[in-house]
Structure 1
Amino acid sequence: MNLNLSMWYQAGVFFILALVTAKFIWPPVIGAIDERMKRIADGLAAADKGKAEMQAAEKRVQAQLAAASEEGKTHINNAEKRAALIIEEARNTAAAEAARIIAAAKADADNQVTKAREELRDQVATLAVKGAEQILKREINASAHADLLNQLKTEL
């Protein structure tokens, strides 16, 4: 076998194999690699987009938490104001009720004092009449001397 001829056959087979590989094998492999690169790039873009959306969502959540916190503080302040108002209203109501009870008690006491004075006047008038009766040693007619007894009551 001739070394030159063998090399030419090997070179020819190599070129034929290179042409067949370049024509039939290489394009599908490059297509698969390109498709895989595109899927990887799409996945990375989707991951970046997901990260951006997650950060935006976290910002929205933080904003909503801050708003909810402010709203909660507002509700607490309103409740505290309402409680203070209710307490003040209860104090005012209690003070008014106490004043009313005191006024009623004073009026009742005044009525009892007046009633006691009237009873005392009646008793003094009766005692005065009995004393005068004993002094005069005769009976005084209460109906006949009603004007005199009334005058005596008013003087007492």
Structure 2
Amino acid sequence: MYPNASLFGQALVFAILVLVTWKFIWPPLVATLEERAKRIADGLSAADRAKHDLELAEKRAADEVRKAKSQASEIIAQAEKRAALIVDEARETGRVAGEREVSAARADIEQQAHHAREELRQRVSELAVAGATQILRREVDAARHADLLTSLKAEL
């Protein structure tokens, strides 16, 4: 064989190989590489979006936690105020009830004292009448002694 013809044949086969590769193999290979590059870029973009969304979610969660703590402290403050009001109301109610009891006890004491005075007056007048009866049995002037007893009873 001729070396020139062989070289020419090899060059022709190589040229056909390059053309076939350029025409049929290279476009799908480039398309596959471009598709893979696009998928990688989309994945990176999605990762960036997810990272950004995660940061936003963390900020929102921190805000919600802050709001919840604030609301909890407000609720606690309101509960403490309400408890203080309930204690004050209970004290006031107790004081009013105590005053009412003291007033009722004073009125009862006054009524019992008045009753005791009346009973004492009645008893003294009975004793005076008994004494007058004994005096009248000894003396005859009943009218004068009755006037004396009436004035004595009025004084008591």
Separation (CA, whole Å) in 2 of partners of 1:33 and 1:82: 71
1:83-98 aligned at under 5 Å gives the runs 83-98=83-98
Closer/same/farther in 2, CA of residues 108 and 31 from structure 1, 3 Å limit = same
What is the CA-CA distance between 1:146 and the residue it aligns to? 9.3
1:6-155 aligned at under 5 Å gives the runs 6-137=6-137, 148-149=149-150, 151-155=151-155
Structure 1 unmatched ranges of 5 or more: none
Closer/same/farther in 2, CA of residues 7 and 153 from structure 1, 3 Å limit = farther
Give SS of 1:137's match. Answer: helix
Q: For 1:78-137, what per-residue CA distance to the aligned partner results, in whole angstroms no more than 9, with x for missing partners?
A: 011011001001101100110111011001101100110000000000001101111221
Separation (CA, whole Å) in 2 of partners of 1:152 and 1:59: 100
Closer/same/farther in 2, CA of residues 153 and 76 from structure 1, 3 Å limit = farther
Separation (CA, whole Å) in 1 of partners of 2:153 and 2:40: 121
Give SS of 1:100's match. Answer: helix
Letter aligned with residue 94 of structure 1: G
Check whether the contact 1:122–1:153 (CA below 8 A) recurs between aligned residues: no
TM-score, length of structure 2 as denominator length? 0.89
Check whether the contact 1:125–1:153 (CA below 8 A) recurs between aligned residues: yes
Aligned-pair identity (%): 51
Separation (CA, whole Å) in 1 of partners of 2:148 and 2:2: 179
Separation (CA, whole Å) in 1 of partners of 2:76 and 2:119: 63
Separation (CA, whole Å) in 2 of partners of 1:148 and 1:4: 179
TM-score, length of structure 1 as denominator length? 0.89
Letter aligned with residue 67 of structure 2: A
What is the CA-CA distance between 1:76 and the residue it aligns to? 0.8
Separation (CA, whole Å) in 1 of partners of 2:147 and 2:34: 136
Provide the alpha-carbon RMSD of the alignment.
1.9
Separation (CA, whole Å) in 2 of partners of 1:147 and 1:32: 144
